[in-house]
Copies of this chain bind each other. A is one copy, B any other.
Amino acid sequence: MKEVAERAGVAISSVSRVISGHPDVSEAMRARVMKAIEELEFRPDARAQSLRTGSTHTIGFIAADISNPLFAEIATGAEIELRAWNYSMLVANAFNDAELVREQLLLMEHRSVDGLLLSVSDETDPELQAVLQRMPFPITLIDRDVRGFTGSAVLSDHAAGLEEAVACLVSLGHRRIALVNGSEKVRPSRERAATLRRALEHADGVVPELRMGEFSAEYGYAATRELMAKSARPTAVIAGSNQILMGVLQALRDLALTVPDDVSLVSCDDLPVLSFLDPPVSTIARDPLAMGTQAAQLVLEEIDGAAPKSVVLATEFRRTASCGAPAAP
């Protein structure tokens, strides 16, 4: 900046005013400074700017698991919104580890992000709440519900889509419906478990088979094998995530069970390719891109002084040929 000032023959503070678009600067001044800036290919230093102004124009994003394709979609949505507001995104992965989440939170504090998008791996981590409170910037949770947290959140209405799915299965005649669920430490799984229980409470003679575990193909495989080994085996299986679905599919294949003749199949969370399986897999779809843009919007607005807010986005059951009537006993 000093060089620019010298070349333009003006004071350093004038250069600053031109750069930051200060209103009180003459056209002549603006022109001279801009010329010098072009000639020297000068670009202001974001670090110094943020040291001075306090704002880094950076939003952190801590994901429970980056490698999940769902994350890529959410991140894309967030990036679109952030870009529109001239913010950048600092990404950190938690590898599904609660302690790592806390560590990454401290990192975000250290880097002075202006706000944070957060999808924790374990909402019940007792030390988490204190760490969250301590953060000096607004935080928007993504599909998570942490006790005592008072900030913003973008949530999916998992119940709605699952209720549709269960109602469909019941009406088809299924009397034993399994949910191979993810970790009980996060909201989506808990919502789904509660929804299944509630939905079948008054459905006479329909039994829920609930398995809580983790978001992995390995777990999906093991749980499905176990379920199918029972004498009273479920006639419908709902997979609690994409990774789990992979395990369920593998298990069904190994057991030579056919969909939907031997077992009807539903997947929570959509993937484009699922419609090309044979039969296509019924899904409980949501709009991850919208989750991302919404989440980004919520933090940015909060940075701008708005009050924390929670937004709930719809889910929808998409039935395909993977749901059929159960075979006669």
Interface residue tally on A, bucketed by range = 35 or more
Contact with B along A71-86 (1 / 0, CB 8 A): 1110110011001000
- From A272, which residue of chain B is reached at the shortest CB distance? B246
A115 to chain B, nearest CB (A): 15
The oligomer's copy count stands at 2
Q: Is A3 an interface residue (CB 8 A)?
A: no
Asked if B72 and A67 make an inter-chain contact with CB atoms under 8 angstroms apart, the answer reads yes
The interface stretch among A89-97, A149-157, A185-193, A224-232 is A89-97
- From A76, which residue of chain B is reached at the shortest CB distance? B67
Contact with B along A212-225 (1 / 0, CB 8 A): 00000100000000
Q: Give the chain B neighbours of A72 by CB distance below 8 A.
A: 66-69, 71-72
Asked if B46 and A111 make an inter-chain contact with CB atoms under 8 angstroms apart, the answer reads yes
Q: Give the chain B neighbours of A41 by CB distance below 8 A.
A: 134
Q: Is A50 an interface residue (CB 8 A)?
A: yes
Asked if B51 and A110 make an inter-chain contact with CB atoms under 8 angstroms apart, the answer reads no
Q: Is A112 an interface residue (CB 8 A)?
A: yes
Interface of chain A, main secondary structure: helix
Q: Is A43 an interface residue (CB 8 A)?
A: yes
Contact of A45 among B75, B112, B217 (CB under 8 A): B112
A63 to chain B, nearest CB (A): 9
Q: Is A194 an interface residue (CB 8 A)?
A: no
Could you tell me the distance between the alpha carbons of A89 and B90 in the complex, rounded to whole angstroms? 6
Q: Is A9 an interface residue (CB 8 A)?
A: no
Q: Is A274 an interface residue (CB 8 A)?
A: yes
User: A residues bordering B, Cβ < 8 Å?
Assistant: 41, 43-48, 50-51, 56, 58, 61, 66-69, 71-73, 75-76, 79-80, 83, 88-93, 106-107, 109-112, 134, 217, 242, 246, 249-250, 253, 271-274, 276-278
Offer 17 A-B interface pairs, CB within 8 angstroms, sorted by A: A45-B112, A46-B112, A47-B56, A48-B51, A66-B72, A66-B75, A66-B76, A66-B79, A67-B72, A76-B93, A79-B91, A80-B93, A88-B92, A91-B91, A246-B273, A273-B274, A273-B277
In the A-B complex, the 7 residue pairs with the smallest Cβ-Cβ separation, listed nearest first, are A278-B278, A67-B76, A69-B69, A72-B72, A79-B93, A249-B276, A91-B91
A79-B91, A278-B278 are known; give 7 further A-B pairs, CB within 8 A: A47-B112, A51-B51, A66-B72, A88-B107, A246-B276, A249-B276, A273-B273
